[in-house]
Amino acid sequence: MTQAAQTEAVKERKRTISAIDLFCGVGGLTHGLEKAGIDVRLGIDINPACEYPYTANNKAEFLLKSVEDLQADELSEAFSEDSVRLLAGCAPCQTFSTYNQKADSSDKRWWLLRHFARLAKELLPEFITMENVPRLEKMSVFDEFVTSLKKLGYEVDHRIVNNANYGVPQHRHRLVLLASKLGPIRLLTFEEFGEEPIDVQKAIGNLSPIGAGQVHDDDPLHQSAALSDTNLRRIKASKPGGTWRDWDEELRAECHKKRTGKTYPSVYGRMSWDEPAPTMTTQFFGFGNGRFGHPEQNRAISLREGAILQSFHEGYEFVKPGEPIHKKVIGELIGNAVPVKLGEVIGKSLVEHLPLVPHA
């Protein structure tokens, strides 16, 4: 079908968008798209731990399957017949992250983007969106992805944005791509989206205090990691926004006393109440893993606080009631998620693009 014919076909459809979310994780992107009015029909991920949080908090169904094994036919059935189709996803970003200095093209995850491109070519949905770490923009596999979309007749826009500008309470720079077969498209600016920056105080300042290693009675996810006696002394000596350089010499780690360790001032740090949080990594629940100390309480932030700083609402479920919570597992799920608010920005950009498609 030519682009002109596809545009004509869209005119005959209801002006709604149905979507499939590849690499869906716990549903951050899906949840944001739903908030923007998009009908997400199916989420796909290879991690079984994603199924409960995805289905418990979203309307879409969940498919446990590798994108490498997906066929276009099984996805076509998931789309609503009378809607504009969106193929969305965020290929696992660890391969492209600046934290992963050893990753190269031999990493199998590197080529998941090619499977995304394959499915786009086979399905030819009207819209495509992808979110990933900024470093991907400089990779040849991304150039290949964009070129393949343009050859298929898509108008493509990609840019790096700071999530904090869109109301996500953390500094998180991400690459966002939007593609449309219906005409030029772009991500809404933060002024157009209309959200004010949110600091840590506004995001998590209302949560009940807990101690290091404690679990809140009413919310099992509001739990923090235990601290050793040394780390308890360290966090007591830490100032919001400060570094380990503020400590007495006896508290400093041996690695930080070496020349090579002096370039990592942000580990063992407290957040500041009046600023957005730093980027939530998969290890945000550990005091020594970054500036993840609570601004006031002597502990690292809790799993719930990390989720809120990813713009998940306070009641978002990550584990079935009564089941044990494994910090490493849940921390990875939260840290790897697309912030809900960014998903909403992407969704609203697509929804507002539809009226720009000319009518007969």
- For 57-101, what is each residue's pLDDT tens digit? 999 999 999 999 999 999 999 998 889 999 998 887 554 444 444
pLDDT digits (tens, 9 = 90+) for 260-293: 445 556 678 899 999 999 999 999 999 988 899 9
pLDDT digits (tens, 9 = 90+) for 295-335: 999 999 999 999 999 999 999 999 999 999 999 999 999 99
The answer to whether the beta carbons of residues 267 and 247 sit under 8 Å apart is no
pLDDT digits (tens, 9 = 90+) for 102-115: 445 455 556 788 89
Q: Does 107 share its domain with 154?
A: yes
Q: Does 168 share its domain with 311?
A: no
Alpha-carbon distance 71 to 177, whole Å?
23
Q: Does 192 share its domain with 223?
A: no
Average pLDDT of the residues in 216-225: 97
Which pair of tokens denotes residue 72?
């276009």
Q: Does 91 share its domain with 240?
A: no
Sequence-distant (≥ 6) Cβ neighbours of residue 214 within 8 angstroms: 223, 224
Which residue out of 24, 50, 93, 255 is catalytically annotated? 93
pLDDT digits (tens, 9 = 90+) for 328-354: 999 999 999 999 999 999 999 999 998
Q: Does 205 share its domain with 295?
A: yes
Q: Does 291 share its domain with 346?
A: no
Is position 255 annotated as part of the catalytic site? no
Q: What is the mean pLDDT of the chain?
A: 88
Which pair of tokens denotes residue 335?
């840290």
| CATH for 87 | 3.40.50.150
Range of the domain at 229: 200-336
Q: Does 136 share its domain with 30?
A: yes
